[in-house]
């Protein structure tokens, strides 16, 4: 097993990985940009190493700095988390050249499957149905001609993409040029690769993915599906397992297709095969995420497996200790992604200092996050604060627990999308499982701004902040008005400097 692992990421996923390392008795090394110096993953890691300024292209996307940090801290392995360089084959190649084990698939598997266009070509070769579109990166004029021939709507997608970055839905010729430009620009900023490809957009599909694990000894297993259809502008916001509509027969077919793809691509480690499912329960290959997914906790909750520990074990050369047939999912799990953003202001990011927070707990509740009270949420990265996960014996019990946990969740100083989830969990269509990838966007267009579910939360947070500010002001004013006797006249010793600084720090911490 490894002795020390460098975590080439930040935020909640870095915290998740270092906790797995600690349970395995492996030392962890965090890396951080200048703006992340006080982040939770830096505080919790055994060691932390600076890698540059706030912009990700000067820090978290610099392979040379990551390899240098790994060498300087004596790491024998590197975990990329998700996002940033997690699906860039240049990183595992650099690790191999530096004698560092990459905790993820080999570069060749990334190129065969992680590239969205290469993955589509491979899927067709092994007879897995795919969504109509291009199999290679495409230029603007070529993509426009294809869109006109197959008919709108179409999707422009980043070849190196993931997480909804570098993706645009196009409904007409008039929108095409600006959508292509914006998608390419976003892809370059997020992944350092501006190449795009084009797909036909299916009407009202469900987004369902299969989690797979593969070791270096030829065993590939499916851990079942996750439903990821609740999306805002192609970005997943709620995930659950199992899917409300997947039958045992469909699960078997999709799992067999996912395993077949993984074998054909020489895949090793954790990965996700993503599919679109139409209203007739026909499925189409979408893409492969050659990394750990944001939503991996819902699979962990229904299988009892720790995917990060299994990733580390596979990278260390261990065999998977179970077969596909031995995995029996139990109960139902659901995850909501909590972002520092303002749903009433077009989901604009809401950076700032967290003045106070209350984390929910109780039966069936798990919270994966990378923040703490007093920390300042930066404006330089994705505004994901953490993930709230609920588990129950049934989908109904899971939703009830998630509602209760969202009612307990409180944070002041910034705005969040927690209120939106409270609203979604009351929607009859959601409760019946009658959802699709555009369901949330359609719901948001129908809701008046004041109905997003954030009013009550914002009012409570605002009141708390005003009360805290008033208390702090009153304390400060009373101190100013107090007579200040000298040590000689009072007959008492002057307070020590440590006492004075401690009191001042307590006042500074008042929300």
DSSP assignment of 52-99 equals --SSGGGTTT-HHHHHHHHHHTT-SEEE--SSTTTT-THHHHHHHHTT
Q: What angle do CA 259, 263, 268 make, to 5 degrees?
A: 95
d(CA 511, CA 229): 38
d(CA 509, CA 110): 46
Quote the strand ranges of 98-205, DSSP E: 101-102, 154-158, 167-170, 196-200
Catalytic amino acids?
291
CATH architecture of 4-103: 3-Layer(aba) Sandwich (3.40)
- What own/partner pairs with CB < 8 Å and gap ≥ 24 does 483-490 have? none
Is residue 388's pLDDT more than 70?
yes
Residues of the chain with CATH 3.30.470.20: 206-456
What sign does the CA torsion over 162, 163, 165, 169 have? positive
d(CA 456, CA 454): 6
The pTM (predicted TM-score) of the whole model is 0.81
Give me the pLDDT at residue 351, please.
96
- Exposure string (b/e) for 266-297, b if CB count within 10 Å is 16 or more? ebbbbbbbbbbbeeeeebbbbbbbbbbbbbbb
d(CA 86, CA 304): 25
Q: Tell me the pLDDT tens digit for each residue of 154-212.
A: 999 898 877 678 899 999 999 999 999 999 999 998 888 899 989 888 889 999 999 99
Which strand (E) or helix (H) includes residue 13? helix 11-24
d(CA 361, CA 248): 33
| 206-456 topology per CATH | D-amino Acid Aminotransferase; Chain A, domain 1 (3.30.470)
Arithmetic mean of pLDDT, 125-149: 88
d(CA 131, CA 113): 16
Name 426's Cβ contacts closer than 8 Å, sequence gap at least 6.
none
* Furthest C-alpha separation in the chain: 93
Is residue 475's pLDDT more than 50?
no
Residues of the chain with CATH 3.30.1490.20: 133-200
Q: 16-20, 64-68, 239-243, 502-506: which range is least confident on average?
A: 502-506
Residue scoring higher pLDDT (488 or 241): 241
d(CA 301, CA 36): 30
Radius of gyration for the alpha carbons in the chain, expressed in angstroms and rounded: 25
Tokens 């500074």 belong to: 508
Q: What is the mean pLDDT of the chain?
A: 88
**Beta bridge pairs of residue 430:** none
Dihedral of the CA atoms 281, 225, 400, 439 (nearest 10)?
-50
Q: What share of the chain is helix, strand, coil (3-state, %, to 5)?
A: 40, 25, 35
Q: 188-192, 310-314, 498-502: which range is least confident on average?
A: 498-502
Query: Which three-class secondary structure state does DSSP give residue 296?
Result: helix
Q: Do the Cβ atoms of 409 and 460 come closer than 8 Å?
A: no
Is residue 459's pLDDT more than 80?
no
Q: Do the Cβ atoms of 366 and 389 come closer than 8 Å?
A: yes
Q: Do the Cβ atoms of 177 and 185 come closer than 8 Å?
A: no
Neighbours of 140 (CB within 10 A): 15
Question: Which of these CATH numbers, 3.30.1490.20, 3.40.225.10, 3.40.190.80, 3.30.465.10, describes 133-200?
Answer: 3.30.1490.20
Two structure tokens written together for 258: 């996912």
**Beta bridge pairs of residue 239:** 335
Give me the pLDDT at residue 146, please.
87
C-alpha of 7 from chain center: 15
Is residue 321's pLDDT more than 80?
yes
C-alpha of 123 from chain center: 26
Give me the pLDDT at residue 135, please.
73
Give me the pLDDT at residue 464, please.
47
For the chain, percent of residues with pLDDT exceeding 70: 87
Query: Which three-class secondary structure state does DSSP give residue 170?
Result: strand
Give me the pLDDT at residue 480, please.
46
Give me the pLDDT at residue 307, please.
98
Is residue 448's pLDDT more than 90?
no
Residues of the chain with CATH 3.40.50.20: 4-103
């Amino acid at each position: 097993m490894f002795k020390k692992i460098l975590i080439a990421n930040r935020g909640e996923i870095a915290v998740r990985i270092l906790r797995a390392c600690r349970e395995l008795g492996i030392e962890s090394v965090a890396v951080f940009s200048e703006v992340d110096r006080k982040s939770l993953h830096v505080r919790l890691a055994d060691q932390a190493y600076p890698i540059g300024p706030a912009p990700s292209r000067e820090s978290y996307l610099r392979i040379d700095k990551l390899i240098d940090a790994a060498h300087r801290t004596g790491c024998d392995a590197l975990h990329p988390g998700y996002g940033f360089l997690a699906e860039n084959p240049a990183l595992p190649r650099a690790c191999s050249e530096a004698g560092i084990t990459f905790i993820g698939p080999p570069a060749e598997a990334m190129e065969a499957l992680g590239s969205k266009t290469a993955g589509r070509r491979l899927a067709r070769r092994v007879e897995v149905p795919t969504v109509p579109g291009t199999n290679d990166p495409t230029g603007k004029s070529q993509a426009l001609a294809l869109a006109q021939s197959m008919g709108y709507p179409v999707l422009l997608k980043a070849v190196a993409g993931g997480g909804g970055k570098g993706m645009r839905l196009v409904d007409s010729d008039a929108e095409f040029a600006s959508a292509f430009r914006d998608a390419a620009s976003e892809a370059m900023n997020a992944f350092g690769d501006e190449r795009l490809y084009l797909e036909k957009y299916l009407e009202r599909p469900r987004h369902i993915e299969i989690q797979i694990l593969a070791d270096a000894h030829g065993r590939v297993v499916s851990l079942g599906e996750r439903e990821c259809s609740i999306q805002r502008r192609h970005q997943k916001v709620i995930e659950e397992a199992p899917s409300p509509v997947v039958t045992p027969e469909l699960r078997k077919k999709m799992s067999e297709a996912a395993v077949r793809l993984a074998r054909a691509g020489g895949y090793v480690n954790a990965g996700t095969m993503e599919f679109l499912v139409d209203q007739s329960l026909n499925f189409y290959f979408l893409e492969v995420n050659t990394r750990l997914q944001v939503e991996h906790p819902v699979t962990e909750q229904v299988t009892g497996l720790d995917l990060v520990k299994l990733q580390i074990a596979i990278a260390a050369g261990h065999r998977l200790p179970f077969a596909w047939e031995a995995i029996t999912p139990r109960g139902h799990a659901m995850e909501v992604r909590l972002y520092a953003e303002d749903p009433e202001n077009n989901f604009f990011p809401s950076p700032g200092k967290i003045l106070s927070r209350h984390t929910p707990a109780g039966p069936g509740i798990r919270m994966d996050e990378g923040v703490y009270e007093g920390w300042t949420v930066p404006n330089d990265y994705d505004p994901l604060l953490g993930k709230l996960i609920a588990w129950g014996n049934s989908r109904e019990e899971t939703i009830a627990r998630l509602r209760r946990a969202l009612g307990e969740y409180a944070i002041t100083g910034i705005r969040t999308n927690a209120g939106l989830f409270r609203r979604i969990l009351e929607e009859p269509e959601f409760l019946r499982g009658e959802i699709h990838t555009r369901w949330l966007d359609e719901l948001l267009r129908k809701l008046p701004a004041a109905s997003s579910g954030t009013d009550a939360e914002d009012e409570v947070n605002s009141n708390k902040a005003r009360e805290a500010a008033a208390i702090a002001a009153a304390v400060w004013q009373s101190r100013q008005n107090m007579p200040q006797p000298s040590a000689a006249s009072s007959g008492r010793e002057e307070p020590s400097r440590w006492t004075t600084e401690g009191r001042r720090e307590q006042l500074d911490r008042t929300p």
